[in-house]
Amino acid sequence: MNSLQEGLLRLGSQFVPFLLGVVVHEFGHGFAANLWGDSTAKDSGRLTLSPVPHIDPIGTLLFPILGMITGLPLLFGWARPVPIDPRRFKKFRPGLFWVALAGPLANAITAFICGFLCMVLLRFAPADFMFQREFTEMLKNGVYINFGLGIFNLLPIPPLDGSKIIESTLSYPAMQRYEQVAQYSTFILLALILTGAINFLGVPVQFLGMLTLEWNARLFGLI
C-alpha cells in the first residue's frame, strides 16, 4: 500500500470523528450560553448539531484533511466559534465558567459515547458485517480525537476555553491584563508545536482514551 492510499484510509477513519468533535464542541458552548441567558448563538442559527453552519473552510476542511492525508503527528483544526455575548449572562462569572467548560465537556461526553458504541459494535455486530473493522477504527478515533480537542482547548492561552475559565475567577482589571496575552497566543502555540512541547497533551489523551475503551470493554464483557 502506497503512502497516498494510507493517507486516504486515515482520512476516512479520522475526518468524521474530527468533524463531530468540533461541531459538538461549539454546540456545547452555544447550548450552555443559552441556558445562562445568552441566546446569541441560537438567534444566529448556530445552536445546531448540523455541521454546515460550523464549518470553517481552512480550520475544518483544509488543515485537517491535509494533516490526515500526510500523516502529521498533530491533528490541528477548528470550527467557526459560536457567537457568545457574556454581557447577557444571568450571572457573569459562573456563566463565563460554565460556558467555557461546556465545549471540552461536550467533547468528553462524545468520547465516552464513541467508546460505548465501539464496544456495542464489537459485541453485537454480525460476524459477516464487512465494515466492522472500519467503523470500529472510526469510533476508536472518535474517543481519542474528542479527548484531544477537549484537553487542547483547556490550555490557559487566550482565547482558548482554559483562559476563559481562569478569567471567571479574576477581577475585572486582572481579566483585562490577562486578555492582553491574546496578541501573543499564535506565537505561543507555534512555539509549543515547533518545540514538541505540545506533545505533553498526548499523555492525558492516551490515558483517558485507553481508560474509556477499557471501561466500556469490561461493561460488555469483552475483557
For residues 153-162, one letter each, b for 16 or more C-beta atoms within 10 angstroms of the residue's C-beta and e for the rest, the string is bbbebbebbb
Asked about 26 being catalytic, the answer comes back as yes
Closest by CA to 8, choosing from 91, 71, 57, is 71
Q: Which residues contact 155 (CB under 8 A, 6 or more apart)?
A: 162, 163
**3-state SS class at 91:** coil
**159 preceded by a cis bond (ω within 30 of 0):** yes
Q: pLDDT tier at 1 (50, 70, 90 boundaries)?
A: low
Each residue's pLDDT tens digit, 172-218 = 999 999 999 889 998 998 898 888 888 899 999 999 999 999 999 99
Residue appearing with cell numbers 484531544: 148
Going from N- to C-terminal start, the domains of the chain cover 3-219
The confidence score (pLDDT) of residue 5 equals 74
What's the pLDDT band for 2 if we cut at 50, 70, 90? low
The predicted pLDDT at position 3 comes to 73
What is the tens place of the pLDDT at every residue in 50-83?
999 999 999 999 989 988 888 776 777 899 999 9
**Predicted pLDDT at 197:** 85
Tell me the per-residue pLDDT of 11-48, one tens digit each, with 9 for 90 and over.
889 999 999 999 999 999 999 999 999 999 999 999 99
pLDDT over 80 (residue 94): yes
Share of the chain above pLDDT 90, in %: 74
Q: Are 175 and 110 in contact (CB under 8 A)?
A: no
Q: Which of 26, 134, 179, 214 is catalytic?
A: 26
